Amino acid sequence: MAKRTTTPPEEIAENIVDIDVGLEMQNAFLEYSVSVIHSRALPDVRDGLKPVQRRILYSMSEMGLRPDRGHVKSSRVVGDVMGKYHPHGDTAIYDALVRMAQPFTMRLPLVDGHGNFGSLDDGPAASRYTEARLAPAALVMTASLDEDTVDFVPNYDDQLLQPGVLPAAYPNLLVNGVSGIAVGFATNMAPHNLVEVIGAARHLIAHPDCSLDDLMKFVPGPDLPLGGRIVGLDGIRDAYLTGKGTFRTRATARIEKITPRKSGIVVTELPYLVGPEKVIERMKTLVQGKKLQGISDVKDLTDRKHGLRLVIEVKNGFNPEAVLEQLYRLTPMEDSFGINNVALVDGQPQTLGLKDLLRHYVEFRIDVVRRRTAHRLGKAKDQLHLVEGLLIAILDIDEVIQLIRSSEDTATARSRLMDVFDLSEVQANHILDLQLRRLTKFSRLELEQRRDELQKQIEELEAILGDEKLLHRTVSSELAEVAKKYGTPRRTVLLESAGNPVSAATPLEVSDDPCFVLLSSTGLLARTSNAEPIPAEGPRAKHDAVVGAVRTTARGEVGLVTSRGRMVRISALELPALPPLGGAPSLSGGAPLAAYVDLPRGEEPVGIVSLDPDGPGLALGTAQGVVKRVTADQPKAHDWEIISLRDGDSVVGVGQVVTGDEDLVFVTSDAQLLRFPASSVRPQGRTAGGMAGVRVASGQRVAFFGVVDPRREAVVVTASGSADALPGTQPGAIKATPYAEYPAKGRGTGGVRAHRFLKGEDTLVLAWVGATPARASGAGGVAIELPEATGRRDGSGVQGSSVITGIGAPPA
């Protein structure tokens, strides 16, 4: 084994420097903070971009990723940017790329993304799964980069050049906003509408001494990408004046009928950068902690076709307006946005108001257009110089060719061309570089036309450079073209204030106030907002013929009696509330009965009654002439039987007996009317089958049963027709008769004649007895006027519709 030899180290010259640790930390921190401020976190006031954003757009422009070309993998873009311009990691580059492609983040996206670029609640897919290219708006940000419009600076390793700022043909800083946190500085700027911002910039160009109020006529406030509402404009004006301010953003929500039985809050727009999952999670936490009341369910029905749709179901008994106010107060459906307009001006971070932001951009854009114009002017003069040389050469083309052929080398040919034809070196080189076949194709007329065009272009460019006002007008007109091409309507609604809080005036839960539950002849249910008497007179529309009106409370219940002898509970709280009555009630906003009661085939609704245990009893009449009074006791079940019917029998009418002095009235299909005192019928239990009410002839049935107070003015309405005709296919006769003209008879008898049939008539298609009605309801619920009441023996009545579904006067 070889012996290891060691060489003693050479003597090291010690050079120890004493430094102040505090001072060294201060200097190091200062260098770090300056690097973060300039190279990462804060945008430039001129193009509104952070360095990483600027480098992404420039790199994609250099790669040729235009909107009219295909997408490429985002990882390819990230790698190109990181390798050439931004050596700070692929995560930071991809995050910036994603943000520029999200339409919910930027008002005018600069990157056209293909794939999963994330949502308000979820992050994007990895860069290897997504693709990107420049958006159309990015083209005007990078346009004219090759025309000496901006200065280029070395990249991180001094091998490439990159623009220090993009030309930016629109005020990107205001349009798209920005957020960033540096060392000792932070910026948070809200997006604005492109058309409004450009309008303010053009006004500032034309009127440099304009006031902030003048500019706010064009830019009244931010315009957030997903809309929403901004509540309170004082903070916005402070931000536009000083560069700092706060405003509240509020979701766009409306109260709708989700089902006929339930109201809900539908949210279609949320505050800036607030996702639906965040709102739903906060709601669930508050509901579980019993800090939020009145919500039964939350559904996220958002899709690509309809956009955001968050449906919040409100429990019955709660005011949706008050619940919505709770949501604004306790959840992210209302959020605050703090404006902090910090941007780099000549490399220094400054807090700027609206006018300063626009002024710096306008000055930069004027400088860009001036440099571009000077560049184009130089190019045009160079082109004109070459064209003039060609015009000289083409006049003696043969001599030019002979001179070139006879020359020993290029330098000799160049020298001879310059001497013989008085050409410059540039012109001579241009002629020598042309192929002979191209030289012969030049025509004198074409060259002269090109010369004239260049001379005109040079005059225009020199005019722009020589006239400051013309230069400003050029900048203004270019801004107008950008606004016309890329502008969109405002999405965010600006509100001076939220108004008076609903919860301060409206209780959260519906109070148990007296009201009426109404049933229309077309099967619509509703409740009134108060217990005022319901007037029978007044204009009526479709569905407004009321066949049942029961006094109860908003949290009370009513009962629905069916043709099979069942009683079904209906909660008044679940019914839609009608506005305060100013005349006859309108049930057009009611809900169909089928939304509350599921009736089997063949079972029909008969009427609604009160379920107050201390209230009046009920009286029922069946198609076979049976009558029954029911006691007021009721079970706790949802539905129960109130009469035992015989085979083939059904309930045709129900009424409430208050004092026992009322009359029970039957009208049969062969026009026989029987009235007798309610006191002659003893109350029975729920399972009883009733007793004989009216004697019905063979082949006939009861057409009407009801309870009538003989002390009040009442009327008998009958409508005749043919039993063989289809309903509504032929006119019949309608007759109205004072109820007092009919004598009372004993229970179980046949009654007296109420209607005389005309030729072709053999049955009553409708009969009704009660307080004098205003009008009836025809087919489809259309209101029909009734004839004047005449004597019982004054003929059959007047011709009219044979399809009468109900009477339009509710009982008081």
pLDDT band at residue 3, thresholds of 50, 70 and 90?
low
- pLDDT for residue 802: 40
- pLDDT for residue 352: 95
Alpha-carbon gap, residue 316 to 295, rounded angstroms: 9
- Rounded to 10 deg, the angle between the 410-421 and 397-406 helix axes is 140
Average of pLDDT values for 60-69? 95
Residue partners of 79: CB distance under 8 A and separation at least 6: 90
pLDDT 10s digits, 550-565 = 888 888 889 999 999 9
Among 707, 557, 517, 550, smallest CA distance to 639 is for 557
Provide the token pair at 454. 């260049």
- pLDDT for residue 284: 93
- pLDDT for residue 436: 63
170 catalytic per annotation: no
User: Could you say which DSSP state residue 333 is in?
Assistant: T
- pLDDT for residue 354: 96
- 17-26, 35-44, 661-670: lowest mean pLDDT where? 35-44
Provide the token pair at 786. 């009734």
pLDDT 10s digits, 731-742 = 567 888 899 889
| Catalytic residue, candidates 85, 94, 129, 328 | 129
- pLDDT for residue 729: 58
Among 716, 722, 742, smallest CA distance to 797 is for 716
Res 810 pLDDT > 50: no
Taking all residues of the chain, what is their mean pLDDT, rounded to a whole number? 86
Average of pLDDT values for 104-115? 95
Among 41, 40, 29, smallest CA distance to 85 is for 40
N- to C-terminal Cα separation, the chain: 123
With a pLDDT cut of 90, the percent of the chain lying above it is 50
Alpha-carbon gap, residue 228 to 232, rounded angstroms: 13
- pLDDT for residue 548: 83
Res 12 pLDDT > 80: no
Element counts in the chain: helices (H) and strands (E): 19, 41
pLDDT 10s digits, 357-402 = 999 999 999 999 999 999 999 999 999 999 998 888 888 888 888 8
Q: Which domains does the chain have, with CATH numbers?
A: 252-332 (3.30.1360.40), 370-486 (1.10.268.10), 514-807 (2.120.10.90)
pLDDT 10s digits, 124-155 = 999 999 999 999 999 999 999 999 999 999 99
Provide the token pair at 629. 């009074």
- pLDDT for residue 636: 80
Residues facing residue 717 across a β-bridge: 736, 768
- 79-83, 248-252, 547-551, 676-680: lowest mean pLDDT where? 547-551
Residue bearing tokens 């008879």: 745
The model's pTM: 0.74
Res 438 pLDDT > 90: no
Res 7 pLDDT > 80: no
- pLDDT for residue 181: 80
- pLDDT for residue 72: 97
Res 746 pLDDT > 50: yes
Alpha-carbon gap, residue 10 to 520, rounded angstroms: 111
Average of pLDDT values for 568-572? 88
Res 217 pLDDT > 80: yes
- pLDDT for residue 345: 92
Alpha-carbon gap, residue 224 to 560, rounded angstroms: 52
pLDDT 10s digits, 747-784 = 989 899 988 888 878 888 888 888 766 556 655 556 66
Element (DSSP H or E) covering residue 31: helix 21-36
pLDDT band at residue 543, thresholds of 50, 70 and 90?
low
Average of pLDDT values for 292-320? 88
The better pLDDT of the pair 65, 731 is held by: 65
Res 200 pLDDT > 90: yes
